Amino acid sequence: MTSVAPPTVTSSHIPTSSKYQLPQLPSIPAANPQRQILDAFRLAAASLIAEAWGEDPAKIFEGCDVGKKGADLAVAIPRFKKGKPDEWAAKVLEAFQPSNYLSKVSFEKPFLAFTFNKESFTYHVLRQIQLCSLAARQEPSNPTLPYGAVNENEGKLMVIDFSSPNIAKPFHAGHLRSTIIGAVISNMHEAFGWKVKRINYLGDWGTQYGKLSIGFDRYGSEEELVKDPIKHLFKVYVKINEDDAAEEARYNAGEEIDSETTVHALAKKVFKDMEDGEPKAIAQWSRFRDLSIEALVGVYDKLNIHFDEYWGESQVRKESMQRAIDICLEKKLTCEDRGALLVDLMEWKMDRAIIRKADGTTIYLTRDLGGAYDKYEKYHFDKHIYVVQAAQSLHFRQLYKTLELMEEPYYKEGVFEHVSFGMVNGMSTRKGTVVFLDDILEEAKEVMHEQMRSNEEKYRQIEDPETTSAIIGQTAVKIQDLSGKRVNDYTFNMQRCTSFEGDFGPFIQYSHVRLCSVQRKNPNVPIASSSDDIDISILSDPKIYDMIYHLSIFPTTLRTAYTNNEPSTLVHWCFKISHLVGAAWESVKVSGAEEEEAKARLFLYLRTREVLAYAMRLLSLTPIERM
């Protein structure tokens, strides 16, 4: 087994003191000290145990758990060894020698509990953060340079479909969840080296657009359409659906109705014209789509979210959909029911799924089958994620199984993934009305603006209160959504999510503002260029060590969030570091401290700010400096 040199980060900076030099350790695939310094300290414990027990350090490394049993590291002896734990512990205790990695080991039955060399650990955590942050500032276009990021998927491309609102319908809570979760998943994948293509797969095709066309002919207004396309088309859509419902009620009451002139029949005809490429039908639909996308871009700008492509059901090529149907027929995967063609997935307990309606028009599954082929032909992706509500789980199981049965060459286990999420309840304004996302963001902005005005002195120092209140408002909305596990339902509450008290979005922004204020309020304190330029021994307060330890686990936290596509993991890290900053704020002051002490503490707060700001940007938040 080869050995690895002490952890370094690519930089012109080299430690000037041998005081904190780290001894060489064996190299194992699971450890990456160059990007996560905590791995070096875990590996030191694993190497000690492995040598004492005659085991492979790679095996022991996986069992070196952080944050358990009140120790820096804990290893459960029964996980690796049978027999009496105290006898195995004695071997390790006998072999132990304090080093720049570890200062103490004890037996806390049945665990081995390790204490880091706190001074050395503090030095290396702060050094790694500072060097990574410096590299990231020097090359801001490279998302794999910040502390916690790792370029381990270079050359791989991921396509991600998220947001996916329907043209002419409200941008509802489900689309908001997909938008926010999808943005964070995209950012995290870029942090681990993926090239990411963000696609907004719009719901812009289907019989409902035939209905919208009929509705616009009856109730549409050119002036209102240009002024606010999404809201106007929604009003039109509501009115035409009311006409449809009224016709159905009259029919159910026994009234004779011309089946050729009903809203439903006319809508089907218009959609058939759209599928056949009839110029007038396509021209009107295209105008609705283009105006709606233009309005949506404005909404996404408010959310600090962007897309590489606005695609959609309408953009799937006819040839690709027909190709999918032909393959299903050729491989005898289909059956017919009242003129409709279905893929029979009963054998896999997935029911039967329509791929061509009785009138020859397409449906969701057809378009997703053709769309998967089109996207692969264009991007040759290595991974494709769909961020869609859990209610659509059956649809995606049917899609993936059908691709597998079609023996599509690009379909492989693990390439396609449906990232699902739960429902949002109660998303409405104070008036209790059905709302658009714009209304929610505007109200969150107003609430935050009101709170900011309550402190006149601080309010006067804010250069752009309107923009600042908008950023805090969207932070509040996003963090309420992201703070719970994505599979869980939650109830939206404007009053709670805009609160500065408790674990909500404004609290994270407030913590970042606090960290920014330290340097601003202490202009005479020299800024150390590296951890070699401060006296590390000064940073001995237990509250400081709590911060250092939590900073050290950020790379692990980020990897866990990335692996599980779980933004809430990252949110809770932000809450915890914010609480730790708050706990240290009054006792670990820069103002009024002796020069060397102030210099060291300022260095600590600046490094904490860098990591918190990066975590916030991964969560698609905009860190602010005053509020």
Kindly list the strands in the beta sheet with 383-387, ordered across the sheet, starting from the edge strand earlier in the chain.
Answer: 309-312, 195-202, 157-161, 383-387, 416-419
| pLDDT attached to residue 12 | 34
Classify residue 279: in a domain, yes or no: no
Classify residue 610: in a domain, yes or no: yes
Query: Which residue range is the domain that position 464 belongs to?
Result: 437-618
Classify residue 486: in a domain, yes or no: yes
340-344 and 352-356 as β-strands: parallel, antiparallel, unpaired? antiparallel
- Contact between residue 361 and residue 275 where contact means Cβ atoms under 8 Å apart: yes
Residue 536 has pLDDT above 50, yes or no: yes
Extract the runs of DSSP E, i.e. beta strands, from 60-186.
65-66, 73-76, 102-108, 111-116, 157-161
Classify residue 451: in a domain, yes or no: yes
Domain tally, the chain = 2
Cross-strand pairs, 25: 4
The catalytic residue positions are 169, 172, 175
Locate 561 and state its tokens: 């969030």
Phi-psi region of 407 (alpha: psi -120 to 50; beta: other; left: phi over 0): left
- Contact between residue 406 and residue 145 where contact means Cβ atoms under 8 Å apart: no
Classify residue 196: in a domain, yes or no: no
- Contact between residue 306 and residue 187 where contact means Cβ atoms under 8 Å apart: no
- Of 97-101, 151-155, 167-171, 268-272, least confident by mean pLDDT is 167-171
Extract the runs of DSSP E, i.e. beta strands, from 192-274.
195-202
| pLDDT attached to residue 496 | 77
Looking at the chain, the whole-number percentage of residues with pLDDT higher than 90 is 75
Upstream peptide bond of 15 is cis (omega within 30 degrees of 0): no
Phi, psi dihedrals of residue 555, rounded to the nearest 5°: -60, -40
| pLDDT attached to residue 16 | 47
334-337 and 340-344 as β-strands: parallel, antiparallel, unpaired? antiparallel
Burial bucket for residue 142 (CB in 10 Å: 0-12, 13-18, 19+)? middle
Of 116, 146, 166, which residue is a domain's last? 116
In whole angstroms, give the CA distance from residue 121 to residue 127: 10
In whole angstroms, give the CA distance from residue 360 to residue 340: 8
Reported as a single tens digit per residue, the pLDDT across 318-364 is 999 999 999 999 999 999 999 999 999 999 999 999 999 998 888 88
Cross-strand pairs, 490: 424
- Of 255-259, 341-345, 347-351, 598-602, least confident by mean pLDDT is 255-259
| pLDDT attached to residue 131 | 96
SS3 517: helix
| pLDDT attached to residue 15 | 52
| pLDDT attached to residue 10 | 37
Range 48-77 average pLDDT? 93
| pLDDT attached to residue 614 | 98
Which run of H or of E encompasses 355?
Answer: strand 352-356
Classify residue 531: in a domain, yes or no: yes
Q: Is the dihedral of CA 625, 546, 528, 593 positive or negative?
A: positive
| pLDDT attached to residue 459 | 85
SS3 593: coil
On the CB side of 475, CA atoms within 13 Å amount to 30
Range 141-145 average pLDDT? 97
CATH number at residue 31: 3.30.1360.70
Residue 501 has pLDDT above 90, yes or no: no
Of 92, 116, 140, which residue is a domain's last? 116
CATH number at residue 472: 1.10.730.10
- Of 146-160, 261-275, 488-502, 613-627, least confident by mean pLDDT is 488-502
Reported as a single tens digit per residue, the pLDDT across 298-318 is 889 989 999 999 998 889 999
The pLDDT confidence band at residue 208, using thresholds 50, 70 and 90, is: confident
Reported as a single tens digit per residue, the pLDDT across 422-443 is 988 776 544 445 567 788 888 8
**How far out from the chain centre does Cα 403 lie?**
27
Classify residue 625: in a domain, yes or no: no
Classify residue 519: in a domain, yes or no: yes
Of 116, 149, 176, which residue is a domain's last? 116
Kindly list the strands in the beta sheet with 65-66, ordered across the sheet, starting from the edge strand earlier in the chain.
Answer: 65-66, 73-76, 111-116, 102-108
Mean pLDDT score of the chain: 91
Locate 41 and state its tokens: 């300290």
Residue 609 has pLDDT above 80, yes or no: yes
Q: Show Cβ contacts of residue 494 under 8 Å, excluding neighbours closer than 6 positions.
A: 429, 430, 440, 443, 444, 447
Locate 227 and state its tokens: 């002024």
Reported as a single tens digit per residue, the pLDDT across 2-26 is 444 444 443 334 454 679 999 999 9
The pLDDT confidence band at residue 491, using thresholds 50, 70 and 90, is: confident
- Contact between residue 389 and residue 177 where contact means Cβ atoms under 8 Å apart: yes
In whole angstroms, give the CA distance from residue 225 to residue 229: 4
